[in-house]
Structure 1
Amino acid sequence: MIYLDNAATTMIKPKCVIDAVVNAMTHMGNAGRGANEASLDASRIIYDAREKLSTLFNLNNPSRVAFTCNSTESLNTAIKGILTKDDHAITTALEHNSVLRPLYELEEMGMGLSIVNCDENGNIDYHDFEKLIKPSTKSIVCTHASNLIGNLLDIKKIGQIAKKHDLILIVDASQSAGVFPIDMEDMNIDVLCFTGHKGLLAPQGTGGICVKENVNIRPLKVGGSGIKTFSKTHPEEMPTILEAGTLNGHAIAGLNAAIDYLKEEKIENIQKREEKLMFRFYNGIKDIKDIKIFGNFENKRAAIVTFNVRDIDSALFSDELAMYHDISTRAGGHCAPLMHKAMNTIEQGAVRFSFSHYNTEEEVDKAIEAVKEIAANN
């Protein structure tokens, strides 16, 4: 199988990640739930991962890194823990439902919500953020890279706007963490939400939320914490306030190893490799008759190519890739409804190819030929 659905999850993980998970499953206890060596070993590994993530994103405070199951949990925690019905928030049309649905829930409760629109290729006007700011605006919530078309937003520019107006910037780094450099200080990011199973090359079931010291978040969940057992209320200090219950220590051990792998391989080298493969594919299909490729390919972007050919249903196209060419892609709505509205593809959906540095030029060339064949025969 040629796996080209890495924006959904990176299927191939480094061997060191797999080894770390296996080792953890045979030696790791429950972190913070005892003084035995197995429990202490778990605590050490989890703290080590906090330190590495804090350094990776230039947060420089491991205690402000809380672990979650994925970006969805991180974003729900941040959005629902910061905003109230009396606030106003700004987001963009490029967002995943993990951003939109929590915001819509709050909107139903009375919160104000404004959306920065985009054209069919995901281009936005950054001046629109300031135009939408109101006295009640509390936060800007936006993606770093579109999961549908791969466009990279200028987070530093958005961060400057947020800082100027004393707004909390919440960033969804699902498609960028581990592939693009993220500097929370330089970009003025107040809350960074990420998942482990994509660019960070970690197991599924890992994610996190990095929170600047001046930001307070109400917990999404309360319960067991390993400390203050006899208190009726959940502990308020980070990271415990956002980590009710037993952490996924086995998978976090894999995430810990994955960060070491990224450091050794260098994120910039991984990004360049993925970009090279993406453009090889893009240049190989862009002249196919009646193809429509979405996204801005003139600026830095995630390694994603999304397209349609004439009115061929995207699910049919993706199914033929899988059945007759053994190529895994993704079709449909991709949990990005506003972007599909901008692209005018709500009914048709779109076919998405997404690349990993583990992919090869040979695989890309086979994918190009498969797209050409399906386009010609339908």
Structure 2
Amino acid sequence: MSIRIQIGVNGSKMIYLDNAATTLIKPDCVKQAVLQAMDTFGNASRGAHTPALNALRTLMEARMELASFFGLDDPMRVVFTPNVTYALNLAISGIRGHIVTSAADHNSVLRPIYRRGNFTVVPCDSKGRISVDAIASAIQPDTGAVVLTHASNVTGNVLDIESIGEICAARGIHFIVDAAQSAGLLPIDMKNISALCFTGHKSLFGPQGTGGLCLAANYMPEPLCVGGSGHNSFDPRHPQELPDALEAGTQNAHGIAGLLAGVRYIQSVGIESIYNKVDGLARFFAYSLADIHGVMLYGDLEASRRTPVVSMNIEGYDCAQAASLLFEKYGIAVRAGVHCAPNLHTALKLSGSVRFSFSHFNTQEETQIAVNAVRELAGI
């Protein structure tokens, strides 16, 4: 299951710690599901023959599995998209009026909001934390929605979406949640969430090119794309019923077959079991480096609930230089840069950071090797 990839340097193997960008090592069942789909799927809703029905059946099973996974009553309100960025653009497209977001949010939230205007960006503190009270205070009479990330892709800080959802429900405004970093790691319930946007290729263990949004009964965004749907072809209007209303064209059924297998894998192992393992690895890594001179760690590392992301800088190294050395010298794959979170880096007074992010398929041995590598770069 936990196959490592040769990097071609003295036969050594790569340690992949860039899982917040995409999980590289997938459960075997995900790969098998995609391969089987490649051999057996036609185009869903474009025929009554077995290959077309195979694809249609899998799409429906995936909707049902994801609806159950996220606490959504109606599986037909699970809409598939190519990624969470498209899902967020789609979800935000239906909002009228003012929007509240935060400095911890990703450009996939910020740029659609910047383009439309009329928004407030709630600042974060020195550890990148966002106050629930500050979110509540930013709501104005014309606010149409609060749009927030569930977990930061830089700090691993987790936002209290339950409390914010209650505030939004009490004030009669929509709550849109970016679950790119949390789906598959943290339990999520759609209660008081109007639109939950997720990606398949991270902690849900699906292939790239998969994602979607779950829509509450009280929210229907505007379609970004219209076209073929496989039925009512003489009608010049695109279908109005979900999920077809927001799913124009052929769906990535092969990828969604893999996503379905990934979610079922999580269900079989248990999301809490997966979280406990990755949380333990990330905390061991961070705590082992917390007192090292020249290693600067970011985020609330003492929080009781956080995602397995540890961002840092190493004194004497540009973040890109540090990431290159980690890979070239130690075979450790991480990510350097701003991570599409410019406001958070500005708040932390950083031009970039080196991000380590852990997966269910990483090991204690790999984590210790990463600790030793950082210590060596820091001159310890």
TM-score, structure 2 length as denominator?
0.95
Is structure 2 residue 157 aligned with structure 1 residue 145? no
What is the identity, as a one-letter code, of the residue corresponding to 1:283?
Answer: Y
Is structure 2 residue 284 aligned with structure 1 residue 274? no
Q: Please state whether the residue corresponding to 1:39 is helix, strand or coil.
A: helix
Q: Note if contact 1:120-1:344 (Cα within 8 Å) is conserved in structure 2.
A: no
Task: Report the CA distance between 1:309 and its aligned residue.
Answer: 2.2
Report which stretch shifted further, 302-311 or 242-251: 302-311
Q: Please state whether the residue corresponding to 1:169 is helix, strand or coil.
A: strand
Q: What are the ranges of 5 or more consecutive residues in structure 1 without an aligned counterpart?
A: none
Q: Deviations over 1:191-222 (max 9, x none)?
A: 00000000100101100110011111110111
Aligned to 2:358: 355
Is structure 2 residue 50 aligned with structure 1 residue 50? no
Partner Cα separation in structure 2 for residue 217 and residue 113 of structure 1? 18
Report which stretch shifted further, 132-141 or 119-128: 119-128
Partner Cα separation in structure 1 for residue 137 and residue 125 of structure 2? 18
Partner Cα separation in structure 1 for residue 114 and residue 184 of structure 2? 29
Is structure 2 residue 324 aligned with structure 1 residue 314? no
Partner Cα separation in structure 2 for residue 305 and residue 129 of structure 1? 25
Partner Cα separation in structure 2 for residue 13 and residue 120 of structure 1? 35
Task: Report the CA distance between 1:175 and its aligned residue.
Answer: 0.4
Partner Cα separation in structure 1 for residue 49 and residue 344 of structure 2? 51
What is the identity, as a one-letter code, of the residue corresponding to 1:371?
Answer: V
Q: Map of 1:230-245 to 2, 5 A cutoff?
A: 230-245=234-249
Q: Note if contact 1:120-1:339 (Cα within 8 Å) is conserved in structure 2.
A: no
Partner Cα separation in structure 1 for residue 231 and residue 342 of structure 2? 42
Is structure 2 residue 262 aligned with structure 1 residue 252? no
Partner Cα separation in structure 1 for residue 106 and residue 271 of structure 2? 24
Is structure 2 residue 216 aligned with structure 1 residue 203? no
Structure 1 runs (4+) greater than 4 angstroms displaced: none
Q: Deviations over 1:290-334 (max 9, x none)?
A: 221100122210001101123521001101001100100001110
Q: Please state whether the residue corresponding to 1:331 is helix, strand or coil.
A: strand
Is structure 2 residue 101 aligned with structure 1 residue 91? yes
Q: Note if contact 2:295-2:315 (Cα within 8 Å) is conserved in structure 1.
A: yes
Q: Note if contact 1:140-1:167 (Cα within 8 Å) is conserved in structure 2.
A: yes
Q: Deviations over 1:21-70 (max 9, x none)?
A: 00000000100011011101111011000000000000021100010011
Q: Deviations over 1:158-186 (max 9, x none)?
A: 1011111111000000000011100112x
Partner Cα separation in structure 2 for residue 234 and residue 363 of structure 1? 51
Q: Note if contact 2:286-2:301 (Cα within 8 Å) is conserved in structure 1.
A: no
Q: Note if contact 2:95-2:221 (Cα within 8 Å) is conserved in structure 1.
A: no
What is the identity, as a one-letter code, of the residue corresponding to 1:79?
Answer: I
Q: Note if contact 2:314-2:377 (Cα within 8 Å) is conserved in structure 1.
A: no
What is the identity, as a one-letter code, of the residue corresponding to 2:333?
Answer: S
Percent of aligned pairs sharing the same letter: 48
Q: 2:293 aligns with which of 289, 292, 295?
A: 289
Aligned to 2:77: 64
Q: What are the ranges of 5 or more consecutive residues in structure 2 without an aligned counterpart?
A: 1-13
Partner Cα separation in structure 1 for residue 289 and residue 131 of structure 2? 29
Q: 2:48 aligns with which of 19, 32, 35?
A: 35
Is structure 2 residue 199 aligned with structure 1 residue 189? no
Q: What RMSD in Å do the two structures reach over aligned CA positions?
A: 1.0
Q: Note if contact 2:155-2:298 (Cα within 8 Å) is conserved in structure 1.
A: yes
Partner Cα separation in structure 2 for residue 31 and residue 72 of structure 1? 24
Aligned to 2:26: 13
Partner Cα separation in structure 1 for residue 228 and residue 105 of structure 2? 33
Task: Report the CA distance between 1:359 and its aligned residue.
Answer: 0.4
TM-score, structure 1 length as denominator?
0.95
Aligned to 2:141: 135
Task: Report the CA distance between 1:280 and its aligned residue.
Answer: 1.2
